[in-house]
Amino acid sequence: MQLFLPIADIPVNVFLILAMGAAVGFVSGMFGIGGGFLMTPLLIFVGISPAVAVASVSSHIAASSMSGAISYWRRRSIDPALAAVLLTGGSIGTAMGVWTFTWLRSLGQLDLLIALSYVILLTSVGGLMFWEGLRAMLRASRGNPVPMRRSGSHSWVHGLPLKMRFKRSKIYLSVIPVVAIGLLIGFLGAIMGIGGGFILVPLMIYLLRVPTSTVIGTSMVLTLVTMLFATMLHAVTNHLVDAVLALILMVGGVTGAQFGARAGQKIRGEHLRLLLGLLVLAVGVRFAFELGIKPAELFTVRETGGAT
């Protein structure tokens, strides 16, 4: 069934988009991530302009993190204080990200920035995750698993001033790194159309030493609010959010996520991390490849307004 997307301005097959939403939703449910880093590239490959893809995916991620956040809230595994501090950074970062997005779009370098950030971020994070997963697997096969969280070991992060007590996570921590992480995730999310869960969760675990009981729920709250904020800003400044596209993605995404979550419980943690790392790496390499080979068409035309 063909449907004309009003903002993306192209006709698409509804079932294809629905299937893409469900597939990404499955992956996101399995790994407990938003899945924006898969959704945005998929939409770009289908022919939707990167700008519209980034803006519309933010609302799709908001929907999937909303359902996630609700279930984590019921299980009381969200740290409200930690979420609030993360959000102060997140909101500023998102605003800066959307502003940068608009500025680069007017220069005609937005697509390049999106592609470059994907290459750099995904290959490095994916590579690290893959390596980490591989080492954990090797250790497990040798029969001497190393405990994930070495309690009591402090890093430089814990020497910073402005400390605050986060009761539910049972940590005593400076707000500076928390705000900084929020800022980074908000900024990247607005530019790349990702929720940033796959960066945020490791950062919170390894850098902030947030216990695993609250880390995913809290990170989902940050994703939810920054993505809602990004949707709003993209809609007001760039008019690029395609609500029809977003709705199809949301419906497919939330459905797929349920099945993914069930599948994820059957796979062992280190295998899961290895798989996710591989996936992230693959998307990054795909973008790098795209940049390096000579495009079939060197010219592009874009309307800059003034239609009379």
Summarize as ranges the residues that interact with other proteins (CB under 8 A): 2-7, 9-11, 59-60, 62-71, 74, 108-109, 111-112, 116, 227-228, 231-237, 239, 241, 243-244, 246-247, 250-251, 254-255, 257-258, 291-295, 297-308
Spatial neighbors of 3 by CB under 8 A, at least 6 apart, are 11, 12, 13, 14, 244
Pick between residue 210 and residue 241 the one whose CB is nearest to other proteins.
Answer: 241
Do 128 and 280 form a contact (C-beta atoms < 8 A)?
no
Pick between residue 206 and residue 259 the one whose CB is nearest to other proteins.
Answer: 259
**Residue 274 and residue 265: Cα distance in Å, rounded?**
15
Pick between residue 207 and residue 251 the one whose CB is nearest to other proteins.
Answer: 251
**Residue 236 and residue 142: Cα distance in Å, rounded?**
55
- Please, which residues bridge with residue 163 across strands? 174
How buried is residue 92: exposed, middle or buried, by Cβ count under 10 Å (0-12/13-18/19+)? middle
Pick between residue 99 and residue 206 the one whose CB is nearest to other proteins.
Answer: 99
Pick between residue 73 and residue 206 the one whose CB is nearest to other proteins.
Answer: 73
Minimal distance, residue 25 CB to other proteins, in Å: 10
- State the amino acid at position 267 in one-letter form: I
Minimal distance, residue 295 CB to other proteins, in Å: 6
Residue among 19, 66, 65 nearest 42 (CA): 19
The alpha carbon torsion through 259, 217, 213, 71 (nearest 10 deg) reads -50
Minimal distance, residue 289 CB to other proteins, in Å: 11
Residue among 306, 255, 182 nearest 19 (CA): 255
Minimal distance, residue 29 CB to other proteins, in Å: 10
**Residue 173 and residue 185: Cα distance in Å, rounded?**
19
Minimal distance, residue 98 CB to other proteins, in Å: 11
Pick between residue 207 and residue 235 the one whose CB is nearest to other proteins.
Answer: 235
Minimal distance, residue 120 CB to other proteins, in Å: 12
Residue among 233, 220, 225, 267 nearest 95 (CA): 233
Minimal distance, residue 44 CB to other proteins, in Å: 15
**Residue 95 and residue 234: Cα distance in Å, rounded?**
10
Other residues' Cβ atoms within 10 Å of the Cβ of residue 271: 13
Pick between residue 159 and residue 292 the one whose CB is nearest to other proteins.
Answer: 292
